[in-house]
Chain A
Amino acid sequence: MSFERLVFYTFAAILVYAATRVITVRNPVHAALHLVLAFFTCAGLWLLLEAEFLAITLVLVYVGAVMVLFLFVVMMLDINLASLKAGFVRYLPVGATVAALMLLEMILVLKSKGFDAASMPPPVRHAADYSNTRELGSVLYTDYVYPFEIAAVILVVAIIAAIALTLRKRGESKMQNPAEQVKVRREDRVRLVKMAAETRKPAESED
Protein backbone atom coordinates (compact mmCIF):
# COMPACT_ATOMS: atom_id res chain seq x y z
CA MET A 1 0.00 0.00 0.00
CA SER A 2 1.52 3.31 -0.98
CA PHE A 3 1.86 6.09 1.55
CA GLU A 4 -0.63 8.20 -0.37
CA ARG A 5 -3.27 5.51 -0.15
CA LEU A 6 -2.66 5.11 3.58
CA VAL A 7 -3.16 8.88 4.03
CA PHE A 8 -6.32 8.73 1.93
CA TYR A 9 -7.87 5.94 3.97
CA THR A 10 -6.92 7.58 7.25
CA PHE A 11 -8.49 10.87 6.20
CA ALA A 12 -11.52 9.12 4.73
CA ALA A 13 -12.10 7.17 7.95
CA ILE A 14 -11.82 10.31 10.07
CA LEU A 15 -14.14 12.15 7.69
CA VAL A 16 -16.83 9.46 7.82
CA TYR A 17 -16.55 9.24 11.60
CA ALA A 18 -16.77 13.03 12.03
CA ALA A 19 -19.70 13.33 9.63
CA THR A 20 -21.57 10.60 11.47
CA ARG A 21 -20.92 12.24 14.82
CA VAL A 22 -22.28 15.56 13.53
CA ILE A 23 -25.77 14.07 13.37
CA THR A 24 -25.58 11.56 16.23
CA VAL A 25 -23.89 13.52 19.02
CA ARG A 26 -26.21 15.01 21.64
CA ASN A 27 -24.45 18.27 22.39
CA PRO A 28 -24.84 20.87 19.58
CA VAL A 29 -21.40 22.37 20.34
CA HIS A 30 -19.83 18.96 19.91
CA ALA A 31 -21.75 18.53 16.67
CA ALA A 32 -20.40 21.83 15.35
CA LEU A 33 -16.86 20.85 16.35
CA HIS A 34 -17.22 17.53 14.56
CA LEU A 35 -18.34 19.44 11.50
CA VAL A 36 -15.11 21.47 11.78
CA LEU A 37 -13.16 18.21 11.90
CA ALA A 38 -15.06 16.98 8.85
CA PHE A 39 -14.17 20.15 6.90
CA PHE A 40 -10.55 19.87 7.94
CA THR A 41 -10.14 16.24 6.87
CA CYS A 42 -12.02 17.02 3.67
CA ALA A 43 -9.43 19.71 2.96
CA GLY A 44 -6.78 17.04 3.49
CA LEU A 45 -8.45 14.83 0.88
CA TRP A 46 -8.58 17.74 -1.58
CA LEU A 47 -4.85 18.25 -1.06
CA LEU A 48 -4.33 14.66 -2.20
CA LEU A 49 -6.20 15.61 -5.39
CA GLU A 50 -3.59 18.37 -6.00
CA ALA A 51 -6.27 21.00 -5.43
CA GLU A 52 -4.29 22.92 -2.82
CA PHE A 53 -5.94 26.26 -3.47
CA LEU A 54 -9.43 24.87 -2.87
CA ALA A 55 -8.26 22.87 0.15
CA ILE A 56 -6.65 25.86 1.85
CA THR A 57 -9.62 28.06 0.97
CA LEU A 58 -11.96 25.51 2.52
CA VAL A 59 -10.02 25.74 5.78
CA LEU A 60 -9.71 29.51 5.56
CA VAL A 61 -13.35 30.27 4.77
CA TYR A 62 -15.37 27.46 6.32
CA VAL A 63 -13.22 26.46 9.27
CA GLY A 64 -11.68 29.86 9.95
CA ALA A 65 -14.72 32.08 9.52
CA VAL A 66 -18.09 30.41 8.90
CA MET A 67 -17.82 27.75 11.59
CA VAL A 68 -16.44 30.24 14.12
CA LEU A 69 -19.60 32.32 13.77
CA PHE A 70 -21.71 29.17 13.77
CA LEU A 71 -20.10 27.95 16.96
CA PHE A 72 -20.54 31.38 18.42
CA VAL A 73 -24.31 31.19 17.92
CA VAL A 74 -24.60 27.57 19.05
CA MET A 75 -22.70 28.29 22.26
CA MET A 76 -24.99 31.18 23.18
CA LEU A 77 -28.21 29.34 22.47
CA ASP A 78 -29.88 27.62 25.35
CA ILE A 79 -31.04 24.58 23.46
CA ASN A 80 -33.50 22.27 25.14
CA LEU A 81 -32.43 18.80 24.03
CA ALA A 82 -35.67 17.17 25.17
CA SER A 83 -37.83 19.25 22.83
CA LEU A 84 -35.42 18.53 19.98
CA LYS A 85 -35.73 14.82 20.59
CA ALA A 86 -39.51 14.87 20.79
CA GLY A 87 -41.50 13.80 17.75
CA PHE A 88 -38.76 11.60 16.31
CA VAL A 89 -41.26 8.94 15.29
CA ARG A 90 -43.66 11.50 13.86
CA TYR A 91 -41.02 13.03 11.55
CA LEU A 92 -39.44 9.69 10.67
CA PRO A 93 -41.55 9.02 7.51
CA VAL A 94 -40.80 12.48 6.08
CA GLY A 95 -37.11 12.15 6.86
CA ALA A 96 -36.93 8.64 5.46
CA THR A 97 -38.64 9.77 2.24
CA VAL A 98 -36.19 12.67 1.76
CA ALA A 99 -33.24 10.38 2.50
CA ALA A 100 -34.48 7.77 0.04
CA LEU A 101 -35.00 10.44 -2.64
CA MET A 102 -31.47 11.77 -2.14
CA LEU A 103 -30.05 8.26 -2.30
CA LEU A 104 -31.98 7.61 -5.52
CA GLU A 105 -30.69 10.85 -7.06
CA MET A 106 -27.12 10.01 -6.17
CA ILE A 107 -27.45 6.54 -7.64
CA LEU A 108 -28.93 8.01 -10.82
CA VAL A 109 -26.07 10.49 -11.16
CA LEU A 110 -23.29 8.07 -10.31
CA LYS A 111 -24.66 5.36 -12.58
CA SER A 112 -25.34 7.72 -15.50
CA LYS A 113 -23.43 7.45 -18.78
CA GLY A 114 -21.40 10.61 -18.32
CA PHE A 115 -19.97 9.42 -15.03
CA ASP A 116 -18.26 6.15 -15.91
CA ALA A 117 -14.52 5.56 -16.08
CA ALA A 118 -14.40 6.07 -19.82
CA SER A 119 -15.73 9.63 -19.90
CA MET A 120 -14.16 10.59 -16.55
CA PRO A 121 -10.58 9.30 -16.65
CA PRO A 122 -8.48 9.53 -13.48
CA PRO A 123 -6.76 12.93 -13.22
CA VAL A 124 -3.28 13.28 -14.65
CA ARG A 125 -0.50 13.45 -12.09
CA HIS A 126 1.30 16.79 -12.39
CA ALA A 127 4.92 17.65 -11.70
CA ALA A 128 5.97 19.34 -8.45
CA ASP A 129 6.12 22.80 -10.02
CA TYR A 130 2.48 22.64 -11.15
CA SER A 131 0.52 25.47 -9.59
CA ASN A 132 -3.11 24.67 -9.02
CA THR A 133 -3.72 28.25 -7.90
CA ARG A 134 -2.39 29.73 -11.13
CA GLU A 135 -4.41 27.28 -13.26
CA LEU A 136 -7.60 28.03 -11.37
CA GLY A 137 -7.02 31.78 -11.60
CA SER A 138 -6.30 31.77 -15.30
CA VAL A 139 -9.48 29.81 -16.03
CA LEU A 140 -11.65 31.88 -13.66
CA TYR A 141 -10.55 35.22 -15.08
CA THR A 142 -10.68 34.26 -18.77
CA ASP A 143 -13.18 31.54 -19.73
CA TYR A 144 -15.52 32.03 -16.79
CA VAL A 145 -15.07 35.72 -16.15
CA TYR A 146 -18.78 36.64 -16.56
CA PRO A 147 -20.20 33.91 -14.29
CA PHE A 148 -17.46 34.77 -11.80
CA GLU A 149 -18.27 38.47 -11.86
CA ILE A 150 -22.01 37.81 -11.59
CA ALA A 151 -21.43 35.59 -8.55
CA ALA A 152 -19.29 38.34 -7.02
CA VAL A 153 -22.00 40.96 -7.61
CA ILE A 154 -24.65 38.70 -6.05
CA LEU A 155 -22.46 38.25 -2.99
CA VAL A 156 -21.92 42.00 -2.66
CA VAL A 157 -25.67 42.55 -2.87
CA ALA A 158 -26.15 39.94 -0.14
CA ILE A 159 -23.55 41.65 2.06
CA ILE A 160 -25.16 45.06 1.60
CA ALA A 161 -28.61 43.61 2.27
CA ALA A 162 -27.40 41.98 5.48
CA ILE A 163 -25.81 45.23 6.64
CA ALA A 164 -28.92 47.21 5.72
CA LEU A 165 -31.03 44.86 7.84
CA THR A 166 -29.04 45.77 10.94
CA LEU A 167 -29.35 49.50 10.33
CA ARG A 168 -32.98 49.80 11.40
CA LYS A 169 -33.66 52.12 14.30
CA ARG A 170 -34.08 50.35 17.57
CA GLY A 171 -34.86 52.02 20.83
CA GLU A 172 -32.47 50.08 23.00
CA SER A 173 -29.35 50.30 20.83
CA LYS A 174 -26.64 52.67 21.98
CA MET A 175 -23.80 54.00 19.92
CA GLN A 176 -20.83 56.29 20.16
CA ASN A 177 -19.98 59.05 17.73
CA PRO A 178 -16.19 58.90 17.57
CA ALA A 179 -15.95 62.24 15.74
CA GLU A 180 -17.64 63.95 18.66
CA GLN A 181 -15.48 62.09 21.13
CA VAL A 182 -12.32 63.18 19.37
CA LYS A 183 -13.46 66.80 19.15
CA VAL A 184 -13.97 67.08 22.90
CA ARG A 185 -11.85 69.75 24.52
CA ARG A 186 -10.95 70.08 28.13
CA GLU A 187 -13.25 73.10 28.48
CA ASP A 188 -16.29 70.91 27.67
CA ARG A 189 -15.68 68.59 30.56
CA VAL A 190 -13.81 70.43 33.27
CA ARG A 191 -14.35 73.93 34.58
CA LEU A 192 -11.54 75.46 36.54
CA VAL A 193 -12.80 77.90 39.11
CA LYS A 194 -10.54 80.54 40.54
CA MET A 195 -11.05 80.95 44.24
CA ALA A 196 -9.45 83.12 46.80
CA ALA A 197 -7.25 81.15 49.14
CA GLU A 198 -8.94 80.46 52.44
CA THR A 199 -6.91 80.92 55.52
CA ARG A 200 -7.87 79.18 58.70
CA LYS A 201 -6.29 79.61 62.05
CA PRO A 202 -4.38 76.42 62.87
CA ALA A 203 -6.03 74.58 65.75
CA GLU A 204 -4.24 74.43 69.03
CA SER A 205 -1.88 71.50 69.04
CA GLU A 206 -2.91 68.79 71.45
CA ASP A 207 0.45 67.94 72.90
Chain B
Amino acid sequence: MEESGIIDWIVTGSVILAKILLIVGPLMLGVAYLTFAERKIIGYMQMRVGPNRVGPRGWLQPIADAVKLLMKEVIVPTRSNHYLFVLAPTLTIAPALAAWAVIPFDADTVLADVDASLLYILALTSVGVYGVIIAGWASNSKYAFLSTMRSAAQIVSYEIAMGFALVGVLMAAGSINIGEIVEAQRGSLLHWYWLPLLPLFVIYFISGVAETNRAPFDVAEGESEIVAGFHVEYSGMAFAVFFLAEYANMILIAFLAALLFMGGWLSPFEGIPVLAPMFNWVPGLVWLLLKAGLFLFFYLWFRATFPRYRYDQIMRLGWKVFIPLTIVWLVIEGAAVVGGLGPWFD
Protein backbone atom coordinates (compact mmCIF):
# COMPACT_ATOMS: atom_id res chain seq x y z
CA MET B 1 0.00 0.00 0.00
CA GLU B 2 2.71 2.41 1.03
CA GLU B 3 4.88 1.47 -1.96
CA SER B 4 2.07 1.84 -4.48
CA GLY B 5 1.15 5.13 -2.78
CA ILE B 6 4.53 6.61 -3.60
CA ILE B 7 4.39 5.34 -7.18
CA ASP B 8 0.93 6.86 -7.52
CA TRP B 9 2.30 10.17 -6.32
CA ILE B 10 5.10 10.06 -8.85
CA VAL B 11 2.75 9.15 -11.71
CA THR B 12 0.19 11.81 -10.81
CA GLY B 13 2.93 14.36 -10.24
CA SER B 14 4.63 13.73 -13.57
CA VAL B 15 1.32 13.82 -15.49
CA ILE B 16 0.52 17.18 -13.92
CA LEU B 17 4.05 18.40 -14.63
CA ALA B 18 3.72 17.37 -18.28
CA LYS B 19 0.41 19.25 -18.54
CA ILE B 20 1.98 22.32 -16.97
CA LEU B 21 4.83 22.20 -19.50
CA LEU B 22 2.25 21.82 -22.26
CA ILE B 23 0.64 25.10 -21.14
CA VAL B 24 3.70 27.12 -20.12
CA GLY B 25 5.78 26.19 -23.19
CA PRO B 26 3.37 27.55 -25.80
CA LEU B 27 2.60 30.47 -23.48
CA MET B 28 6.25 31.53 -23.36
CA LEU B 29 6.48 31.16 -27.13
CA GLY B 30 3.31 33.23 -27.36
CA VAL B 31 4.89 35.91 -25.19
CA ALA B 32 7.99 35.98 -27.39
CA TYR B 33 5.99 36.35 -30.58
CA LEU B 34 3.57 38.81 -29.01
CA THR B 35 6.50 41.19 -28.52
CA PHE B 36 7.41 40.61 -32.17
CA ALA B 37 3.82 41.17 -33.31
CA GLU B 38 3.69 44.32 -31.18
CA ARG B 39 6.77 45.82 -32.81
CA LYS B 40 5.63 44.83 -36.29
CA ILE B 41 2.02 46.00 -35.96
CA ILE B 42 2.86 49.27 -34.28
CA GLY B 43 5.59 49.69 -36.88
CA TYR B 44 3.13 49.39 -39.75
CA MET B 45 0.64 51.67 -37.97
CA GLN B 46 3.36 54.30 -37.76
CA MET B 47 4.48 53.79 -41.40
CA ARG B 48 7.64 51.92 -40.39
CA VAL B 49 8.68 48.37 -41.17
CA GLY B 50 9.56 47.13 -37.69
CA PRO B 51 12.22 44.50 -37.00
CA ASN B 52 13.16 42.69 -40.23
CA ARG B 53 16.86 41.86 -39.92
CA VAL B 54 17.18 38.72 -37.76
CA GLY B 55 16.13 35.59 -39.62
CA PRO B 56 13.63 35.51 -42.48
CA ARG B 57 11.47 38.66 -42.32
CA GLY B 58 12.69 39.24 -38.77
CA TRP B 59 11.01 36.15 -37.33
CA LEU B 60 13.98 35.27 -35.14
CA GLN B 61 14.05 38.72 -33.50
CA PRO B 62 12.38 37.58 -30.21
CA ILE B 63 14.84 34.68 -29.93
CA ALA B 64 17.74 37.08 -30.41
CA ASP B 65 16.25 39.39 -27.77
CA ALA B 66 15.93 36.51 -25.31
CA VAL B 67 19.52 35.37 -25.89
CA LYS B 68 20.76 38.91 -25.44
CA LEU B 69 18.89 39.31 -22.15
CA LEU B 70 20.18 35.94 -20.91
CA MET B 71 23.78 36.97 -21.47
CA LYS B 72 23.50 40.33 -19.74
CA GLU B 73 24.69 40.84 -16.22
CA VAL B 74 22.10 41.12 -13.47
CA ILE B 75 23.11 44.16 -11.47
CA VAL B 76 21.94 44.44 -7.87
CA PRO B 77 22.10 48.05 -6.65
CA THR B 78 24.45 48.50 -3.69
CA ARG B 79 22.03 49.83 -1.10
CA SER B 80 19.04 47.84 -2.24
CA ASN B 81 17.37 45.13 -0.22
CA HIS B 82 18.99 42.10 -1.85
CA TYR B 83 16.52 39.37 -0.90
CA LEU B 84 13.45 41.35 -1.84
CA PHE B 85 15.16 42.64 -4.97
CA VAL B 86 15.53 39.07 -6.22
CA LEU B 87 12.16 37.99 -4.84
CA ALA B 88 10.19 40.68 -6.70
CA PRO B 89 10.46 39.27 -10.27
CA THR B 90 9.56 35.83 -8.92
CA LEU B 91 6.49 37.22 -7.19
CA THR B 92 5.44 38.86 -10.46
CA ILE B 93 5.81 35.84 -12.72
CA ALA B 94 4.43 33.23 -10.28
CA PRO B 95 0.81 34.48 -10.16
CA ALA B 96 0.93 35.33 -13.88
CA LEU B 97 1.67 31.68 -14.64
CA ALA B 98 -0.34 30.09 -11.82
CA ALA B 99 -3.54 31.72 -13.08
CA TRP B 100 -3.30 29.58 -16.23
CA ALA B 101 -3.98 26.45 -14.18
CA VAL B 102 -7.73 26.99 -14.37
CA ILE B 103 -8.04 28.37 -17.91
CA PRO B 104 -10.02 25.92 -20.08
CA PHE B 105 -8.79 25.62 -23.67
CA ASP B 106 -11.72 23.57 -24.92
CA ALA B 107 -14.62 21.70 -23.36
CA ASP B 108 -12.95 19.44 -20.73
CA THR B 109 -9.43 20.58 -21.64
CA VAL B 110 -8.30 22.23 -18.43
CA LEU B 111 -5.45 21.54 -16.04
CA ALA B 112 -7.42 22.05 -12.82
CA ASP B 113 -11.21 22.07 -13.08
CA VAL B 114 -11.65 24.13 -9.92
CA ASP B 115 -15.21 24.97 -9.02
CA ALA B 116 -14.41 28.58 -8.06
CA SER B 117 -12.03 29.13 -10.98
CA LEU B 118 -13.11 32.70 -11.76
CA LEU B 119 -12.59 33.71 -8.14
CA TYR B 120 -9.18 31.99 -8.17
CA ILE B 121 -8.09 34.05 -11.17
CA LEU B 122 -9.32 37.26 -9.56
CA ALA B 123 -7.36 36.42 -6.40
CA LEU B 124 -4.16 35.57 -8.24
CA THR B 125 -4.20 38.63 -10.47
CA SER B 126 -4.56 40.75 -7.34
CA VAL B 127 -1.50 39.07 -5.82
CA GLY B 128 0.58 40.11 -8.85
CA VAL B 129 0.77 43.66 -7.53
CA TYR B 130 3.23 42.56 -4.85
CA GLY B 131 5.96 42.03 -7.40
CA VAL B 132 5.59 45.64 -8.49
CA ILE B 133 5.46 47.00 -4.94
CA ILE B 134 8.41 45.01 -3.68
CA ALA B 135 10.49 45.74 -6.78
CA GLY B 136 9.97 49.47 -6.34
CA TRP B 137 10.73 49.46 -2.65
CA ALA B 138 13.70 47.06 -2.71
CA SER B 139 15.42 48.95 -5.53
CA ASN B 140 16.05 51.90 -3.22
CA SER B 141 15.43 54.29 -6.09
CA LYS B 142 13.11 57.28 -6.07
CA TYR B 143 11.83 56.72 -9.59
CA ALA B 144 11.10 53.06 -8.93
CA PHE B 145 9.30 53.94 -5.70
CA LEU B 146 7.16 56.64 -7.33
CA SER B 147 6.14 54.15 -9.97
CA THR B 148 5.33 51.57 -7.32
CA MET B 149 2.93 53.92 -5.60
CA ARG B 150 1.24 54.86 -8.85
CA SER B 151 0.84 51.31 -9.94
CA ALA B 152 -0.37 50.01 -6.59
CA ALA B 153 -3.10 52.67 -6.46
CA GLN B 154 -4.04 51.98 -10.06
CA ILE B 155 -4.25 48.21 -9.74
CA VAL B 156 -6.25 48.35 -6.51
CA SER B 157 -8.69 50.85 -8.07
CA TYR B 158 -9.32 48.97 -11.30
CA GLU B 159 -9.65 45.66 -9.54
CA ILE B 160 -12.95 46.86 -8.09
CA ALA B 161 -14.44 47.72 -11.48
CA MET B 162 -13.08 44.46 -12.86
CA GLY B 163 -14.58 42.48 -9.99
CA PHE B 164 -18.00 44.09 -10.51
CA ALA B 165 -17.85 43.33 -14.23
CA LEU B 166 -17.16 39.70 -13.39
CA VAL B 167 -20.07 39.68 -10.93
CA GLY B 168 -22.25 40.47 -13.93
CA VAL B 169 -20.90 37.46 -15.78
CA LEU B 170 -21.49 35.06 -12.95
CA MET B 171 -24.99 36.44 -12.39
CA ALA B 172 -25.79 35.67 -16.00
CA ALA B 173 -24.20 32.23 -16.03
CA GLY B 174 -25.16 31.20 -12.49
CA SER B 175 -21.72 29.72 -11.96
CA ILE B 176 -18.17 30.73 -11.11
CA ASN B 177 -16.62 27.92 -13.09
CA ILE B 178 -15.20 29.28 -16.34
CA GLY B 179 -16.08 26.14 -18.29
CA GLU B 180 -19.70 26.36 -17.19
CA ILE B 181 -19.79 30.07 -18.02
CA VAL B 182 -18.71 29.31 -21.59
CA GLU B 183 -21.27 26.51 -21.93
CA ALA B 184 -23.99 28.88 -20.68
CA GLN B 185 -23.31 31.07 -23.71
CA ARG B 186 -24.04 28.27 -26.19
CA GLY B 187 -26.60 29.09 -28.87
CA SER B 188 -25.34 31.59 -31.37
CA LEU B 189 -23.15 34.63 -31.67
CA LEU B 190 -25.98 36.67 -30.15
CA HIS B 191 -26.16 34.38 -27.11
CA TRP B 192 -22.64 35.34 -26.05
CA TYR B 193 -22.48 37.70 -23.10
CA TRP B 194 -20.91 40.58 -25.01
CA LEU B 195 -24.40 41.63 -26.07
CA PRO B 196 -26.45 41.62 -22.84
CA LEU B 197 -23.42 42.70 -20.80
CA LEU B 198 -21.97 45.16 -23.30
CA PRO B 199 -21.05 47.88 -20.76
CA LEU B 200 -19.52 45.31 -18.42
CA PHE B 201 -17.62 43.76 -21.32
CA VAL B 202 -16.11 47.11 -22.32
CA ILE B 203 -15.32 47.98 -18.71
CA TYR B 204 -13.77 44.56 -18.13
CA PHE B 205 -11.42 44.85 -21.05
CA ILE B 206 -10.41 48.44 -20.31
CA SER B 207 -9.83 47.54 -16.66
CA GLY B 208 -7.76 44.61 -17.87
CA VAL B 209 -5.60 46.98 -19.88
CA ALA B 210 -5.20 49.17 -16.80
CA GLU B 211 -4.51 46.16 -14.59
CA THR B 212 -1.67 44.98 -16.82
CA ASN B 213 -0.13 48.48 -16.83
CA ARG B 214 -0.38 48.82 -20.58
CA ALA B 215 -0.83 51.97 -22.68
CA PRO B 216 -2.77 54.22 -22.31
CA PHE B 217 -2.72 53.37 -18.58
CA ASP B 218 1.03 52.83 -18.27
CA VAL B 219 1.75 55.70 -15.87
CA ALA B 220 3.69 53.16 -13.79
CA GLU B 221 6.40 53.23 -16.42
CA GLY B 222 5.91 56.73 -17.75
CA GLU B 223 9.24 57.04 -19.53
CA SER B 224 9.21 60.80 -19.77
CA GLU B 225 8.81 61.43 -16.04
CA ILE B 226 10.05 58.34 -14.12
CA VAL B 227 12.44 56.67 -16.57
CA ALA B 228 11.02 53.14 -16.77
CA GLY B 229 9.12 52.79 -13.54
CA PHE B 230 9.40 50.03 -11.01
CA HIS B 231 11.88 47.94 -12.98
CA VAL B 232 14.31 50.76 -13.72
CA GLU B 233 17.04 49.14 -11.59
CA TYR B 234 16.61 45.68 -13.07
CA SER B 235 18.79 44.35 -15.85
CA GLY B 236 19.31 41.16 -17.80
CA MET B 237 17.12 38.19 -16.91
CA ALA B 238 15.63 39.87 -13.83
CA PHE B 239 14.17 42.50 -16.13
CA ALA B 240 13.15 39.85 -18.65
CA VAL B 241 11.08 38.09 -16.00
CA PHE B 242 9.04 41.28 -15.41
CA PHE B 243 8.62 41.55 -19.14
CA LEU B 244 7.47 37.93 -19.43
CA ALA B 245 4.98 38.41 -16.61
CA GLU B 246 3.52 41.55 -18.21
CA TYR B 247 2.95 39.82 -21.54
CA ALA B 248 1.70 36.59 -19.92
CA ASN B 249 -0.83 38.74 -18.06
CA MET B 250 -1.88 40.45 -21.30
CA ILE B 251 -2.51 37.07 -22.91
CA LEU B 252 -4.40 35.99 -19.79
CA ILE B 253 -6.71 39.01 -19.92
CA ALA B 254 -7.28 38.44 -23.64
CA PHE B 255 -8.17 34.78 -23.00
CA LEU B 256 -10.49 35.72 -20.15
CA ALA B 257 -12.29 38.34 -22.23
CA ALA B 258 -12.72 35.72 -24.97
CA LEU B 259 -13.93 33.06 -22.52
CA LEU B 260 -16.26 35.18 -20.42
CA PHE B 261 -17.81 37.47 -23.01
CA MET B 262 -17.12 36.05 -26.46
CA GLY B 263 -18.17 32.43 -26.04
CA GLY B 264 -14.69 30.94 -25.59
CA TRP B 265 -14.28 27.88 -27.77
CA LEU B 266 -17.81 28.10 -29.23
CA SER B 267 -18.00 28.59 -32.97
CA PRO B 268 -19.26 32.00 -34.08
CA PHE B 269 -21.32 30.32 -36.80
CA GLU B 270 -23.37 28.30 -34.35
CA GLY B 271 -27.10 28.40 -35.01
CA ILE B 272 -26.72 29.63 -38.59
CA PRO B 273 -28.29 27.01 -40.91
CA VAL B 274 -25.70 26.53 -43.67
CA LEU B 275 -22.52 27.91 -42.12
CA ALA B 276 -22.65 26.03 -38.81
CA PRO B 277 -22.17 22.50 -40.29
CA MET B 278 -19.51 23.85 -42.64
CA PHE B 279 -17.30 24.92 -39.74
CA ASN B 280 -18.02 21.95 -37.46
CA TRP B 281 -14.60 20.44 -38.12
CA VAL B 282 -12.73 23.43 -36.63
CA PRO B 283 -11.52 22.52 -33.12
CA GLY B 284 -12.70 24.80 -30.33
CA LEU B 285 -9.15 25.78 -29.45
CA VAL B 286 -8.80 27.54 -32.82
CA TRP B 287 -11.83 29.74 -32.16
CA LEU B 288 -10.54 30.54 -28.68
CA LEU B 289 -7.10 31.46 -30.01
CA LEU B 290 -8.62 33.62 -32.75
CA LYS B 291 -10.79 35.48 -30.25
CA ALA B 292 -7.90 35.96 -27.83
CA GLY B 293 -5.76 37.12 -30.74
CA LEU B 294 -8.35 39.77 -31.54
CA PHE B 295 -8.11 41.14 -28.00
CA LEU B 296 -4.33 41.08 -28.10
CA PHE B 297 -4.53 43.09 -31.32
CA PHE B 298 -6.71 45.60 -29.46
CA TYR B 299 -3.97 45.90 -26.85
CA LEU B 300 -1.43 46.81 -29.52
CA TRP B 301 -3.89 49.05 -31.34
CA PHE B 302 -4.55 51.00 -28.12
CA ARG B 303 -0.84 51.47 -27.61
CA ALA B 304 -0.39 52.85 -31.10
CA THR B 305 -3.44 55.11 -30.88
CA PHE B 306 -3.91 56.72 -27.50
CA PRO B 307 -1.66 59.12 -25.61
CA ARG B 308 -0.96 58.25 -21.98
CA TYR B 309 -3.61 59.19 -19.42
CA ARG B 310 -2.81 61.68 -16.73
CA TYR B 311 -2.81 60.17 -13.25
CA ASP B 312 -5.91 61.99 -12.01
CA GLN B 313 -7.75 61.05 -15.19
CA ILE B 314 -7.01 57.38 -14.55
CA MET B 315 -8.34 57.60 -11.01
CA ARG B 316 -11.44 59.49 -12.15
CA LEU B 317 -12.18 56.96 -14.86
CA GLY B 318 -11.80 54.06 -12.47
CA TRP B 319 -13.69 55.37 -9.47
CA LYS B 320 -16.20 57.85 -10.84
CA VAL B 321 -17.10 56.35 -14.20
CA PHE B 322 -16.51 52.60 -14.21
CA ILE B 323 -17.64 51.65 -10.72
CA PRO B 324 -20.99 53.53 -10.84
CA LEU B 325 -21.60 52.24 -14.38
CA THR B 326 -21.03 48.64 -13.35
CA ILE B 327 -23.31 48.99 -10.33
CA VAL B 328 -26.10 50.48 -12.46
CA TRP B 329 -25.74 47.71 -15.02
CA LEU B 330 -25.78 45.04 -12.31
CA VAL B 331 -29.15 46.38 -11.14
CA ILE B 332 -30.49 46.32 -14.71
CA GLU B 333 -29.12 42.84 -15.21
CA GLY B 334 -30.63 41.70 -11.93
CA ALA B 335 -34.03 42.86 -13.17
CA ALA B 336 -33.45 41.03 -16.46
CA VAL B 337 -32.49 37.82 -14.64
CA VAL B 338 -35.57 38.00 -12.43
CA GLY B 339 -37.76 38.82 -15.43
CA GLY B 340 -36.21 35.95 -17.42
CA LEU B 341 -35.32 38.13 -20.40
CA GLY B 342 -34.58 35.81 -23.34
CA PRO B 343 -32.52 34.43 -24.90
CA TRP B 344 -29.85 35.03 -22.27
CA PHE B 345 -31.49 34.84 -18.89
CA ASP B 346 -34.35 32.39 -19.41
Q: Write the residues of chain A forming the contact surface with B, with a CB cutoff of 8 angstroms.
A: 3, 29, 33, 36, 40, 52-53, 56-57, 59-60, 63-65, 68-69, 71-72, 75-76, 131-133, 176, 178
Contacts and interface: CB of A to CB of B under 8 A. Distances in A.
Contact of A65 (B84, B134, B159, B176): B159
Contacts of B300: none
29 contacts: A3-B9, A29-B137, A33-B84, A52-B116, A53-B119, A56-B116, A56-B119, A56-B120, A56-B122, A56-B123, A59-B124, A59-B126, A60-B119, A60-B122, A60-B126, A63-B126, A63-B127, A64-B159, A65-B156, A68-B133, A69-B156, A71-B152, A75-B133, A132-B115, A133-B115, A133-B116, A133-B176, A176-B312, A178-B313
Contacts of A33: 84, 134
A56 B119 CA distance: 7
Contacts of B269: none
Contacts of A178: 313, 316
B127 A75 contact: no
Interface string B136-159: 010000000100110011011001
8 A-B pairs with the lowest CB-CB distances in the bound complex, closest first: A64-B126, A60-B123, A59-B123, A56-B119, A56-B123, A131-B115, A52-B116, A75-B137
A63 B159 CA distance: 13
B61 to A, nearest CB: 36
Nearest to A129: B115
A60 B115 CA distance: 16
A113 to B, nearest CB: 36
A121 to B, nearest CB: 25
Nearest to B87: A33
B69 interface: no
B130 interface: yes
B325 interface: no
A157 to B, nearest CB: 17
A75 B313 CA distance: 25
Interface in B9-67: 9
Given A56-B119, A75-B145, 12 more contacts: A3-B9, A52-B115, A56-B122, A56-B123, A63-B126, A63-B127, A65-B159, A68-B129, A68-B130, A68-B152, A72-B152, A132-B115
Given A65-B159, A72-B152, A133-B176, A36 B115 contact: no
Nearest to B160: A65
Max chain A Cβ within 10 angstroms of own Cβ: one of B116, B134, B153, B313: B116
B114 interface: yes
A32 to B, nearest CB: 10
Contacts of B116: 52-53, 56, 132-133
A63 B131 CA distance: 13
Interface residues of B, number: 29
Contacts of B115: 52, 131-133
Chain B binding surface, main DSSP class: helix
Max chain B Cβ within 10 angstroms of own Cβ: one of A3, A56, A176: A56
Max chain B Cβ within 10 angstroms of own Cβ: one of A59, A68, A75: A68
A57 B118 CA distance: 12
A57 B122 CA distance: 9
A40 B137 CA distance: 21
A71 B133 contact: yes
A57 B126 CA distance: 11
Contacts of B122: 56, 60
Contacts of A65: 126, 156, 159
A64 B129 contact: yes
Contacts of A68: 129-130, 133, 152, 155-156
Nearest to B133: A71
Contacts of A59: 123-124, 126-127
A133 B54 CA distance: 52
A76 B156 CA distance: 17
A88 B9 CA distance: 50
A126 to B, nearest CB: 11
Contacts of A131: 115
A188 to B, nearest CB: 19
A123 to B, nearest CB: 17
Nearest to A60: B123
Contacts of B124: 59
Contacts of B134: 33
Interface string B283-326: 00000000000000000000000000000110010000000000
Contacts of B137: 29, 75
Nearest to B115: A131
A75 B153 CA distance: 14
A150 B183 CA distance: 36
B119 A64 contact: no
Interface string B271-288: 000000000000000000
Nearest to A131: B115
B149 A72 contact: yes
A33 B130 CA distance: 9
